[in-house]
Amino acid sequence: MKVLRNIGRRFRQSLHDVAWIFWRELRQTVRDEGVLIFFLLVPLAYPLVYAFIYNDEVVRDVPVAVVDDSRTTRSRDYLRRVDASPDVRVAAYCADMEEARRLMRERRAYGIIYVPATFNDDLMCGRQTYVSIFCDMSGLLYYKALLSSNTYVSLAMNARIKVERLPGLTAEQDKTLAQPLAYEEVSLYNPQNGFAAFLIPAVLVLVIHQTLLLGIGLSAGTARERNRFHELIPVNRHYGGLLRIVLGKSLAYLLVYVPVSVYVLGVVPRLFSLPQIGQPATLALFALPFLLATIFFAMTVSVAVRQRESCMLLVVFTSVPLLFISGISWPGAAVPEFWRVVSWLVPSTFGINGYVRINSMGADLSQVATEWNALWAQAAVYFLTACLVYRAQIHGARRRLLARYRTLRDRRRNLQVQRLKKLS
Amino acid sequence: MAPLLAVARRECQRFARRPLYWFCMIGAPLLCLVFFLTLMASGLPDDLPLGLVDDDATATSRQLARNLDAFQQTDIVACFPTVTEARRAMQRGEIYGFYYIPEGTTRTLQRQEQARVSFYMNYSYLIAGSLLFRDMKTMSELASGAAMQQVMLARGATERQAMALLQPIVIDTHPLGNPWLNYSVYLNNTLLPGVLMLFIFMITVHSLGIEIKEQTSRQWLSLARGSLPVALTGKLLPQTAVFFLVWALIDVVMYGWLRFPCHCGLPVMLGVSLLGVVAAQGMGVFMFGVLPTLRLGLSFASLWGVISFSISGMSFPVMAMHPVLQGLSYLFPLRHYFLLYVNFALNGYGAADIWPHLVGLAAFVLLPLVILRRLKRALLTAKYVP
């Protein structure tokens, strides 16, 4: 009976400690302006900035220069159709290639369409003719716009020319002749092939990941600097158990990040009418292990932060490699094996992939099971490592404190001995 | 001259002691260099996984699938019995798209009627989706052509006549400067300088802010005999040297070793890189002058550095952005650097049309002059705010 009561008391005590540490961490977070910026301002504002940048989704009316050496009704028809296509705008009709090249140099045109002098003659004689396009390759979207517009126009004109050349067929035969094998292209999950709908979801997850790393790193650095002995964990009666420290702190971060995640992952896509076809419950179930894994990961990493500000130098630049390694902007299937394995170490990889599939592609939890399990595994592993590094910190702190105490004690003893000698 | 050297010597000693600076100035940029260049070593992603739903299951449809599989970017990894299952595989992330050949396609074709196939791309992964789209569209056009060619040849047309009827107008594409559509060329030429500029912003701000934090700013200024320009120059010169060496290494690896297009020759790009380093440093000093606390200055630096990647127009063109952003883009050194790189290295044009951006980049070097007084006041009086 006594044993049970004892256990009960200790359990209550540890719960009390967890709650105490939780409150203390929460209070510090709210009071520290720097951490607040990372935990609230950046997640609030950053997605808006990005969505604003990519808001137009696609590039329309890329200016091109045109050199029409054919100057026939047919060539003008071709160019008119290109001009009418949504992605390309004819900025200038040039007399020769030299003039067109000058426009390219001045960045007034991002491509040249050259219609040869023999264009109409070839077509009238039943020969093939070549329209040349030259594109500025500083952005692949210019190239894509130019190529796709010209391809669509040429396909449409080709179909008509075919029908003209073989007269006397029925309408149905015409259709078959123009295109025996018709096809339908269906863009799934991002119907306008837009840039925002493709990049922003990944950025949103990354914002949560990076701000957690920054905020937790910053508060760890602060804790060290405030502490007289530059230790991460204060000597305090509530900081008695390892589990209590790690649980108390992580619960505080989790509490802050639940509303932040709701806003970033749930509200922002709606604000900018990005694809959002996931089930909220699925999303919530998925976000939980992601947040836990990230928090424990950040707590593990944060022991490397000695100074308050150095975490920014260490964390900010990783956003770019993390985005590329996640398999969104660079296809995951093309990521080399070595980097793929490296990418498994960070929660953002699984977080981004899972979120994109749930939010943009409407996957359910079973379809992101790999990511979900991986995140739980990461949460478990990083929880352990967080405990381990905190333990090392506590032991180190105790050792250093004891050493300090001993040197002080020895000094005092020496002084006493000297004083005694003097007296005698 | 002597105070300048004294400050420079002091700075060298200061950052030799700090492992953080070693990491941010040399370690991390080189890590990024290796990372991005090996990540995109293939240039264009090969063999992207594609699914097939072949309800037709005839020799013709299998031929079509085999031809599609033979495309460089496409790899048919699985056949699915229904469209729903293919869609589920897509949601699981196993494939980036699928090609659907409905039942009776061959029969319809042989009856000389119009058959219809469809293909589905997942544009949540824009690059993968676009590449697969290109292959699937080309394949469909080719299949259409092959079917007609058969008919034409059977009717006694020559091959040339058949081709002239199949495709009267041919589009002859010339991607200037990057004929391989190499993504490594396209992205790394701006990504790597962007990462380096981010570090230059942050290290410049940090090395100034740490003087206030450690209360050494008066000692620093007195070493320069109270002249802030001398103190700043002496402090930043050693950093300029290190950052330029790192950037030069990036240039040499990209243009010298990997043979990325560099029409202007390596020396010109080295010159532009040096200007880039100094411009970013100027911007860094300006950032700290505007927000002279270490944390806020660093926040400014990170915000600017990270947004640079998007607003430089390397991936999403600036002309498609909101007009306000088009104007703002000139406040980012990376934007000017990007345009200079495109003009000189990628396209091989002269300086005649791009000089405004050379001036723009150089203007960042003079930016500290604007906040010199404010900065000095801060250095002399400000207390460290955590």
**In Å, what is the CA distance from A370 to each residue of A282, A290, B179?**
14, 13, 38
Q: What is the 3-state secondary structure (H, E, C) of A18-70?
A: HHHHHHHHHHHHHHCHHHHHHHHHHHHHHHHHHHHHCCCCCCCCEEEEEEECC
* Structure tokens, A309: 């500000």
Query: Which is higher by pLDDT, B386 or B103?
Result: B103
Q: Is B299 on the interface with A (CB under 8 A)?
A: yes
Q: Is A220 on the interface with B (CB under 8 A)?
A: no
Chain A, residues 271-310, CB within 8 A of chain B, namely: 275, 307-310
**Do A321 and A286 lie in a common domain?**
yes
pLDDT in the model for residue A273: 86
Q: How far apart are CA B265 and CA B271, in angstroms?
A: 11
Say yes or no for a CB contact (<8 Å) between B168 and A162: yes
**Do A246 and A331 lie in a common domain?**
yes
Sorted by where each begins, the domain ranges of chain B are: 2-41+183-381, 48-166
Q: Is residue A423 part of a domain?
A: no
Query: Whole domain around residue A123: which residue ranges?
Result: 62-178
**Do A357 and A281 lie in a common domain?**
yes
- Given A142, A320, A325, which is nearest B309 (Cβ)? A320
Task: For residue range B219-234, list pLDDT tens digits in order.
Answer: 998 888 888 999 999 9
Q: Is residue A351 part of a domain?
A: yes
Q: Is B116 on the interface with A (CB under 8 A)?
A: yes
| First CA to last CA distance, chain A | 60
Say yes or no for a CB contact (<8 Å) between B294 and A50: no
- Maximum CA pair distance of chain A? 134
Q: How far apart are CA B372 and CA B363, in angstroms?
A: 15
In this predicted structure, the answer to whether residue B298 has a pLDDT above a threshold of 80 is yes
Say yes or no for a CB contact (<8 Å) between B119 and A184: yes
**In Å, what is the CA distance from B267 to each residue of B61, B191, B353?**
55, 20, 20
Indicate the length of chain A as a whole number: 424
Q: Is B215 on the interface with A (CB under 8 A)?
A: no
Give pTM, 2 decimals: 0.92
**Do A344 and A297 lie in a common domain?**
yes
The answer to whether B342 and B260 are in contact (CB under 8 A) is no
Instruction: Report the alpha-carbon angle A307-A254-A261, nearest 5.
Output: 105
Q: Is residue A314 part of a domain?
A: yes
pLDDT, one tens digit for every residue, chain A (424 residues):
678 888 888 888 888 888 888 888 888 888 888 888 889 999 999 999 988 898 888 899 999 999 999 999 999 999 999 999 999 999 999 999 999 999 999 999 999 999 999 999 999 998 899 999 999 999 889 999 999 999 999 999 998 888 888 777 788 888 887 788 889 999 989 888 888 888 999 999 999 999 999 999 988 888 887 776 656 666 666 666 778 888 888 999 999 999 999 999 999 999 888 889 999 999 999 999 999 999 999 999 988 888 888 889 999 999 999 999 998 888 888 899 999 999 999 999 999 999 999 999 999 999 999 999 999 999 999 999 999 988 888 888 788 888 888 888 898 889 888 888 888 7
Tell me, what's the ipTM? 0.91
Long-range CB contacts (within 8 A, 24+) of B229-234: B229/B372, B230/B3, B230/B4, B230/B7, B231/B7, B232/B285, B232/B368, B233/B4, B233/B7, B234/B3, B234/B4, B234/B5, B234/B6, B234/B7, B234/B8, B234/B10, B234/B11
Q: Is A381 on the interface with B (CB under 8 A)?
A: no
Query: What is the domain-level CATH number for residue A124?
Result: 3.40.1710.10
Task: Identify the three-state secondary structure at position A111.
Answer: strand
Q: How far apart are CA B4 and CA A417, in angstroms?
A: 54
* Structure tokens, A9: 């008391």
Domain B48-166 class, CATH top level: alpha beta
Which of A300-313 are b and which e, b meaning 16 or more Cβ less than 10 Å from the residue's Cβ?
A: bbbbebebbbbbbb
Shortest Cα distance from B116 to chain A (angstroms)?
A: 5
pLDDT in the model for residue B217: 87
pLDDT in the model for residue A238: 61
Residues in B touching A189 (Cβ below 8 Å): 122-124
DSSP B72-112: SSEEEEEE-SSHHHHHHHHHTTS-SEEEEE-TTHHHHHHTT
The answer to whether A177 and A166 are in contact (CB under 8 A) is yes
pLDDT in the model for residue B310: 92
**Do A66 and A135 lie in a common domain?**
yes
Q: Is the dihedral of CA A218, A224, A227, A231 positive or negative?
A: positive
| Selection from A214, A326, A247, A352 nearest residue A21 by Cα | A247
Order of strands, sheet of A62-68, starting from the edge strand that comes earlier in the sequence: A88-94, A62-68, A111-115, A129-136, B169-176
**Do A81 and A104 lie in a common domain?**
yes
Amino acid of residue A246:
V
Cβ-based contacts under 8 A for chains A and B: 324
Closest Cα in chain A to B172: A132
pLDDT in the model for residue B325: 93
Query: Which is higher by pLDDT, B66 or A175?
Result: B66
**Do A9 and A143 lie in a common domain?**
no
**In Å, what is the CA distance from A247 to each residue of A151, A292, A296, A383, B72?**
60, 11, 10, 9, 51
Q: Is residue A228 part of a domain?
A: yes
A391 CB burial (10 A radius; 0-12, 13-18, 19+): middle
Chain B, residues 44-63, CB within 8 A of chain A, namely: 45-49
Q: Is residue A81 part of a domain?
A: yes
Question: What is the count of structural domains for chain A?
Answer: 2
